[in-house]
Amino acid sequence: MAYKIVMPQLGLTMEEGSVSSWLKAPGDWVEKGDPLFIVETDKIEMEVESMGRATLEPSKWRMA
């Protein structure tokens, strides 16, 4: 099953954030709850977890 990876809103006033580093690579198998990447804002830095079990597909690996 496919899952979209989205950056969560980390607070009520969060308007933008950056992926400061990826913790997994394209082709890696991930389990639900595995950390995928680190989001950084002007106030916080947080790991974002996988929402399901899947292989990260290189063809869909891009930053908008």
DSSP letter for each residue of the chain: ------PPP-STT----EEEEESS-TT-EE-TT-EEEEEE-SS-EEEEE-SS-EEPPGGG----
Q: Do residues 49 and 31 touch, judged by C-beta distance below 8 A?
A: no
Can you give the residue ranges of every domain in the chain?
Answer: 18-60
Q: What is the pLDDT of residue 33?
A: 93
What global pTM score does this model have? 0.73
Q: What is the pLDDT of residues 5-62, one digit of tens each?
A: 777 777 777 778 888 888 999 889 999 999 999 988 888 888 989 888 988 876 555 5
Q: Which one of 1.10.490.10, 2.40.50.100, 1.10.287.3510, 2.40.50.140 gives the CATH number of domain 18-60?
A: 2.40.50.100
Q: What is the pLDDT of residue 28?
A: 92
